[in-house]
Chain A
């Protein structure tokens, strides 16, 4: 068995110590996997991924990234340690150009690598390359999401974490963003993503964890969960297929 790239053990997190939102969740993500975090609204999915990213206080448990303990690492150092995070909203600097958004994230790299990494992102996202001086605030929802992913990828993370990358996008754009994530996975980057859109997420992911009230209610292969009518109905708010009931 290969070592997990990200190992979370008994994580409790939230904004107030006496009211933890995430209550003891463990999860191991293996190198090259896509794992999706699903669950009803208010289950603590977002808090869970933000706690890993260092944006929400952790009260208990341990987070290990590529063998190094990052439980107490401040958020701004995580990008240097191989963790890329795309927040759900306000995930690009709208008052800065596309080029400056990328430059800012590339500033943590050694000087010699910066231009090369920016070029690599512009090759991966040709839509952005065509308008690099444009203010990010002028981008459409789909392009903005692509820039947000490019920003998180620029430092060459071991794992890319996304908080509801599909939120607010049309089904067609969700398809485009997910296709891009599949492409990124083939470059060897592990992906951990919170999703509201269970159907699309389960189609892309290898495995899924379902959070309910801050605890892991179920973990398993994405394909098994997608085909399990009980889980779908109980946790994912997906109505059983017609005639099945």
Chain B
């Protein structure tokens, strides 16, 4: 049996997991399901594409690093784009969610996020057209790893980046004052305020972090697959499945959930064919909600 599908599933799962960190943090700290989160992936990727093209035009050349299909322009652009995506999330909060937060209920916020998602996606199509774009059109050679599994250098880079980002995030949440404050607000906002936590500041940090990680996930998706305005929206269901499977509020849970969803999707393709791939995240979501609504690491239902 060829085990390649497991590797493919893990790579997709790592992407989903990275994106799901933002979903799980927004859900637990701002207490609503942000359906516009997928757009942060897409916007982050297009920010990166635009900046990287700009750098290429300014400094010339599109040199690559080692065996990777991309070079410093994409990496530097990606870091700037992560910041921009965080700011985009902040602006969206200021213009929309902050106004609804104090008077609306959760369902109003969710519906608003649906609207924001459509608007952001349409704007992206308007600016960049619906045509797929690529960071690089070079064909990358996959080389054998073990058990007949082959990976491209880009895919290995992606796995390593995900591991690093997740470890850094986990330590950040555990040890930094702002990470502690985020955990506190997620559990009990009133007690957090009494303890001196500025909840608005925590909310701003949540948007920045969620936006930046969404950008990272989007860029990696753009590198390994392609860039489309719908790339984030198409991942929305897997993102939520991963966040809920891992347990709302848990960073390691979101990533583990992402990996499970990714591998499950890839396995399903083997068994029932690619047509049903999209149904798998949905099935996982329903199963978790029925069997263990709190998720793997979750404490809340």
- Please determine whether B187 and A104 come into contact, CB atoms closer than 8 angstroms: no
- Please determine whether A93 and B188 come into contact, CB atoms closer than 8 angstroms: yes
Residues of A within 8 A of B193 (CB): 54-55, 74-76
- Please determine whether B194 and A96 come into contact, CB atoms closer than 8 angstroms: no
Q: How far is the CB of A155 from chain B (nearest CB, A)?
A: 7
- Please determine whether A87 and B191 come into contact, CB atoms closer than 8 angstroms: yes
Q: B299: CB under 8 A from chain A? A: yes
- Please determine whether A91 and B191 come into contact, CB atoms closer than 8 angstroms: yes
Interface bracket on B: 10 to 19
Residues of B within 8 A of A103 (CB): 177, 180
Residues of B within 8 A of A94 (CB): 187
Residues of B within 8 A of A69 (CB): none
Residues of A within 8 A of B299 (CB): 95
Instruction: Bits for A48-92, please: 1 = Cβ < 8 Å to B, else 0.
Output: 000001110000000000000000001111111000010100111
Instruction: Bits for B191-203, please: 1 = Cβ < 8 Å to A, else 0.
Output: 1111111110000
Q: B286: CB under 8 A from chain A? A: no
* 10 sampled A-B residue pairs with Cβ under 8 A: A55-B190, A76-B199, A79-B195, A85-B194, A93-B183, A93-B184, A93-B191, A103-B177, A104-B192, A108-B195
Chain A residue total in the interface (Cβ 8 A): 28
Residues of A within 8 A of B21 (CB): none
Residue of A nearest to B190 (CB): A55
Residues in A lying within 8 Å of B, measured CB to CB:
53-55, 74-80, 85, 87, 90-96, 100, 103-105, 107-108, 151-152, 155
Q: How far is the CB of B178 from chain A (nearest CB, A)?
A: 9
- Please determine whether A105 and B195 come into contact, CB atoms closer than 8 angstroms: yes
A87-B190 in contact given A95-B299, A104-B197, A108-B196 (Cβ < 8 Å): yes
Q: B235: CB under 8 A from chain A? A: no
Residues in B lying within 8 Å of A, measured CB to CB:
177, 180-181, 183-184, 187-188, 190-199, 299
- Please determine whether A93 and B197 come into contact, CB atoms closer than 8 angstroms: no
Q: How far is the CB of B176 from chain A (nearest CB, A)?
A: 10
Q: How far is the CB of A55 from chain B (nearest CB, A)?
A: 6
- Please determine whether B190 and A96 come into contact, CB atoms closer than 8 angstroms: no
Q: Which of A53, A85, A107, A152 contacts B181 (CB 8 A)?
A: A107
Residues of A within 8 A of B198 (CB): 76
Residues of B within 8 A of A100 (CB): 180, 183
Residues of B within 8 A of A95 (CB): 183, 187, 299
- Please determine whether B194 and A87 come into contact, CB atoms closer than 8 angstroms: yes
Residues of A within 8 A of B196 (CB): 76-77, 79-80, 105, 107-108, 155
Q: How far is the CB of B129 from chain A (nearest CB, A)?
A: 46
Residues of A within 8 A of B188 (CB): 90, 93
Among A76, A85, A100, A152, max chain B CB count under 10 A is at A76
Residues of B within 8 A of A87 (CB): 190-191, 194
Q: Which of A54, A78, A96, A107 contacts B187 (CB 8 A)?
A: A96
Residues of B within 8 A of A55 (CB): 190, 193-194
Residues of B within 8 A of A76 (CB): 192-199
Residues of B within 8 A of A151 (CB): 195
The 3 A-B pairs of least Cβ separation, nearest first, read A79-B196, A108-B196, A75-B193
Q: How far is the CB of A46 from chain B (nearest CB, A)?
A: 13
A53-B191 in contact given A96-B184, A104-B180, A104-B181 (Cβ < 8 Å): no
- Please determine whether B199 and A90 come into contact, CB atoms closer than 8 angstroms: no
Residue of A nearest to B177 (CB): A107
Q: How far is the CB of B215 from chain A (nearest CB, A)?
A: 28
Residues of B within 8 A of A74 (CB): 193
A79 to B191, CA, bound (A): 12
A76 to B192, CA, bound (A): 8
Residue of B nearest to A111 (CB): B177
Residues of B within 8 A of A108 (CB): 195-196
- Please determine whether A90 and B197 come into contact, CB atoms closer than 8 angstroms: no
- Please determine whether B194 and A93 come into contact, CB atoms closer than 8 angstroms: no
Residue of B nearest to A85 (CB): B194
Residues of B within 8 A of A93 (CB): 183-184, 187-188, 191
Residue of A nearest to B199 (CB): A76
A28 to B215, CA, bound (A): 55
Q: How far is the CB of A111 from chain B (nearest CB, A)?
A: 10
Among A53, A87, A93, max chain B CB count under 10 A is at A93
